[in-house]
């Protein structure tokens, strides 16, 4: 996400560009999956590019399972669309559907034991639709997470810049963190504090000057 920073002296001139990037972690991905209904021994997993399980849901996948080993051909098919086929799951044959989500930068795997495949035949015929719908759900949830984690502090920072540039030097932004946005917020607060102090000193000096004494406000004694 790119946000322009306009000049204090010339609001029409862009002095800098704020760049922000956010990625979903394992806890965020797990929270997304926890809201997705899973029945019987079906399961759904989100995998990183090496096949390691970043998040999982469903009884059909062992809690001890750490990664999926996917051959190159299914990967190529799944990267362009959806691959469905047999997969060996700790001594059991499963039917697995695999797809790649560019937004999440992760793979989505949905599986069910092959022994239960006939009971799930109608679902498997529409597995492409199910995975596609799930991808939309995941993308929407991911967008919501990104919006909360990135857009809100950026909006706070831009609003703070606008208020300080308009002369409201007492305004401070509340942005935590040590990332670029957090550092920009700290810098803005420091700038506003410095301007506020200069305005206070200038105001004191002006009161002495208008007093008509002709003397400096600082006296040696």
pLDDT digits (tens, 9 = 90+) for 167-196: 777 878 887 776 666 777 777 777 777 767
Q: Domain count of the chain?
A: 1
Tell me, yes or no, whether 21 lies in a domain.
no
Tell me, yes or no, whether 163 lies in a domain.
no
Tell me, yes or no, whether 149 lies in a domain.
no
What pLDDT is attached to residue 52?
Answer: 92
- Report whether pLDDT(89) > 80: yes
Residue 19: pLDDT band by 50, 70, 90 thresholds? low
Residue with the larger pLDDT of the pair 81 and 128: 81
Residue 18: pLDDT band by 50, 70, 90 thresholds? low
Tell me, yes or no, whether 51 lies in a domain.
yes
- Cα 191 to Cα 25, 37, 173, 195, 204: the distances in Å are 33, 50, 11, 6, 20
- In which element (H, E) is residue 47 found? strand 43-47
- Report whether pLDDT(125) > 80: no
CATH number of the domain encompassing residue 105: 3.30.450.20
Burial 43-81 (b: 16+ CB within 10 A, else e): bbbbbeeeeebbbbbbebbeeeeeebebeeeebebbeee
Tell me, yes or no, whether 165 lies in a domain.
no
Sign of the Cα torsion 64, 140, 76, 48 reads negative
Tell me, yes or no, whether 169 lies in a domain.
no
Tell me, yes or no, whether 102 lies in a domain.
yes
Q: Which domain holds residue 72?
A: 26-138
């Amino acid at each position: 996400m790119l946000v322009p920073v306009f000049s204090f002296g010339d609001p029409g001139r862009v002095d800098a560009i704020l760049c922000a990037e956010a990625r979903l972690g394992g806890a965020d991905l797990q929270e997304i999956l926890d809201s997705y209904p899973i029945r019987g021994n079906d399961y759904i997993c989100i995998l990183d590019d090496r096949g390691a399980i970043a998040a999982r849901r469903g009884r059909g996948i062992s809690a001890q399972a750490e990664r999926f080993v996917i051959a190159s051909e299914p990967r190529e098919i799944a990267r362009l669309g959806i691959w469905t086929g047999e997969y060996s799951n700790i001594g059991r044959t499963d039917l697995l559907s695999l797809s790649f989500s560019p937004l999440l930068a992760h793979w989505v795997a949905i599986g069910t034991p092959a022994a239960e495949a006939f009971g799930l035949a109608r679902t498997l015929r529409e597995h492409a639709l199910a995975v596609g719908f799930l991808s939309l759900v995941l993308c929407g949830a991911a967008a919501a997470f990104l919006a909360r984690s990135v857009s809100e502090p950026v909006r706070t920072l831009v609003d703070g810049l606008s208020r300080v540039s308009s002369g409201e030097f007492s305004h401070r932004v509340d942005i935590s963190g040590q990332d670029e946005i957090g550092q920009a917020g700290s810098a803005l607060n420091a700038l506003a504090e410095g301007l506020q102090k200069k305005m206070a000193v200038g105001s004191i000096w002006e009161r002495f000057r208008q007093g008509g004494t002709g003397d400096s406000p600082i006296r040696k004694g």
